Amino acid sequence: MSSPSKFASRTFQQIKEDLLARREIALLDVREEAPHAEAHPLFAANLPFARLELDAWTRIPRRTTRIVVLDDGEGLAEQAAQRLQTLGYTDVSVLQGGVSGWQRDGGELFRDVNVPSKSFGELVESKRHTPSLSAQEVQALLDQKADVVVLDARRFDEYQNMNIPGSVSVPGAELVLRVRALAPRPETQVIVNCAGRTRSIIGTQSLLNAGIPNTVHALRNGTIGWTLAGQTLDKGQARRFPQEIDAATQTQAAADARAVAERSGVKRLDWQGLQALRADTDRTTYQFDVRTPEEFLTAHVPGFLSSPGGQLVQETESNAPVRGARIVLFDTDGVRANMTASWLAQMGWEVYVLDAVVALSESGSVKPPLPPAPPAEKITPQVLAGWLADTAIRTLVLDFTTSANYVARHIPGARFALRSQLATVLQQLPPADRYVLTCGSSLLAAYVIGDVRSLSSTPVFLLDGGNAAWVNAGLPLESGETALASPRIDRYRRPYEGTDNPVAAMQGYLDWEFGLVEQLGKDGTHGFFVI
């Protein structure tokens, strides 16, 4: 019999009431991404136990936020609740019965990742009958050298991985701003694609909502549909949208975008209004700069985080896990923030656009607020190399980087380990006289040291600078799944990544997306509407 929980529990019905009343609540699935993707409530944000210290203060900035932690019986929810209390959160509870209990009590379970946006995209298509063309129809247009442009609405790195031949990378929030430069003739047909369906639908409907004069279609089923049709994708291309937009084009796009935002119920905010929201300690206010990452790094408004608009809509629950919070968006053109805000408002968020002309007085990346790590004795890569060469004293390296990074390259002999499975890992390791912990930079490994000390009497050290420092020192590396002390469940393999997925998996993914509108109806908590 399991021991009683030290934390209060909240039921499916209580959480449903919070969601319907739009009270602030963070429903956190603290499992690794792969099990999370197997089954979870609609608005459960995946915040793995391993990363709580790294992400919690940024993603849940108000320490009095109501937090409900869940797993599926792995015991992580209790550990995460304790860790969140240590981090200063005062309203932490555990989902009664976990994932299984949610379903048993009448809750709907969803699979995959970024489900709120994907289900919303399917709802948009069902309500607006967003026009689309099949892969074969688009291929025929390209073969005929028709007056057509194909715009890829994904991130640039995704575009480079695989793309429609001749297409141009225009991430979602950029579409309304850039489309007139890419298709200046109203006669030019515009095709919007992504890897699957969501960003194609949202991108196409963005252009239609903004009233551009061109004929616009989504590429039905994206690169998955293209692959299933037996058509060839390009790789490694670097075609990107034009950086410069003339004043008349921007003015027109801004007017169009603002009109869409107003139809969606987006609120406006000046600088004084923003300060009032920032000072309100009873509500969570997220502040996102929706321009490109490059623009943000060059200069940005203090207090805002970089979240390019298309991905913010795609990954809303990852960026803003507190459902019911307020969101403030900023850009410098009056287009990207308004279009992004229009979608977030339809997804049930209270969303504002900052209209004020403000100084972009900071530059570079934003360092997240982090709690202090346990004290650790650090060693250099050179010292570790010497230790590994000395067979008289057994040194074991535990690598807490992502499994993908581990497979790509790691210190010879290092074991890949998940923090969420640390107790099991330590029990199964071969005898060692000392452990050395590392990850990409040793930022995560620095927090794991305290966990290791609580579970083992073996001396433990931290590799200063992590794997990056080892690489920079020019020391040997190996690759592959050479020593997995934990399974590779830290990331869910998306069926739309790459072209080497089984046909059945790709078709199954599409079939799942087609069923999301029905699932939304069964769930009954979403609060979405479509203009």
DSSP character string of 458-479: S-EEEETTHHHHHHHTT---B-
Instruction: Flag whether 323 is in a domain.
Output: yes
Determine contact, residues 346/295, Cβ cutoff 8 Å. no
**Residues 166, 235: one domain?**
yes
- With tokens 């993908």, the residue in question is 404
pLDDT in tens, 17-70: 999 999 999 999 999 999 999 999 999 999 999 999 999 999 999 999 999 999
Residue 222 pLDDT > 60: yes
Residue 2's pLDDT band (cuts 50, 70, 90) = very low
**Residues 128, 218: one domain?**
yes
Strand duo 216-219 + 189-193: pairing: parallel
Select from 510, 255, 469 the least CA-distant residue to 382: 469
pLDDT in tens, 153-209: 999 999 999 999 999 999 999 999 999 999 999 999 999 999 999 999 999 999 999
| CATH code, 328 | 3.40.250.10
End-of-domain residue from the set 432, 454, 472:
472
End-of-domain residue from the set 321, 339, 354:
354
Question: How far, in Å, CA of 286 to CA of 27, rounded?
Answer: 17
Domain count, the chain: 4
Select from 1, 159, 3, 7 the least CA-distant residue to 79: 7
**Residues 40, 86: one domain?**
yes
**Residues 139, 231: one domain?**
yes
- With tokens 């936020």, the residue in question is 65
End-of-domain residue from the set 207, 239, 271:
239
CA 315 vs CA 250, 308, 379: distances in Å? 27, 10, 38
Determine contact, residues 291/252, Cβ cutoff 8 Å. no
Residue 500's pLDDT band (cuts 50, 70, 90) = low
Select from 55, 183, 35 the least CA-distant residue to 98: 35
pLDDT at 494: 81
Instruction: Flag whether 89 is in a domain.
Output: yes
Question: How far, in Å, CA of 242 to CA of 181, rounded?
Answer: 7
Strand duo 395-399 + 189-193: pairing: unpaired
Instruction: Flag whether 449 is in a domain.
Output: yes
Q: Crossing angle of helices 336-346/175-182, nearest 10°?
A: 130
Q: Which domain does 129 fall in, by range?
A: 120-239
The overall average pLDDT reported for the chain is 95
pLDDT in tens, 383-429: 999 999 999 999 999 999 999 999 999 999 999 999 999 999 999 99
Question: How far, in Å, CA of 381 to CA of 484, rounded?
Answer: 22
Instruction: Flag whether 366 is in a domain.
Output: no
**Residues 392, 424: one domain?**
yes
Strand duo 25-29 + 322-323: pairing: antiparallel
DSSP-based three-state secondary structure for 402: coil
Determine contact, residues 7/93, Cβ cutoff 8 Å. yes
Determine contact, residues 117/198, Cβ cutoff 8 Å. yes
Mean pLDDT for 112-138 is: 96
Select from 524, 478, 153 the least CA-distant residue to 311: 153
pLDDT at 517: 93
pLDDT in tens, 288-321: 999 999 999 999 999 999 999 999 999 999 999 9
**Residues 174, 283: one domain?**
no
Q: What is the pTM of this model?
A: 0.94
Determine which of 357-371, 469-483, 499-513 has the lowest per-residue pLDDT on average: 499-513
**Residues 343, 413: one domain?**
no
Instruction: Flag whether 201 is in a domain.
Output: yes
Instruction: Flag whether 477 is in a domain.
Output: no
Question: How far, in Å, CA of 123 to CA of 136, rounded?
Answer: 25
pLDDT in tens, 253-271: 999 999 999 999 999 999 9
Select from 291, 305, 347 the least CA-distant residue to 177: 291
**Residues 151, 101: one domain?**
no
**Residues 91, 16: one domain?**
yes
Determine contact, residues 407/491, Cβ cutoff 8 Å. no
Instruction: Flag whether 383 is in a domain.
Output: yes
CA 482 vs CA 32, 398, 446, 466, 468: distances in Å? 21, 13, 24, 19, 19
**Residues 124, 199: one domain?**
yes
The token duo for 424 is 């099991």
**Residues 414, 451: one domain?**
yes
Q: If phi over 0 gives left and psi between -120 and 50 gives alpha, with beta otherwise, what is residue 416?
A: beta
Residue 244's pLDDT band (cuts 50, 70, 90) = confident
Instruction: Flag whether 367 is in a domain.
Output: no
**Residues 29, 80: one domain?**
yes
Question: How far, in Å, CA of 460 to CA of 73, rounded?
Answer: 30
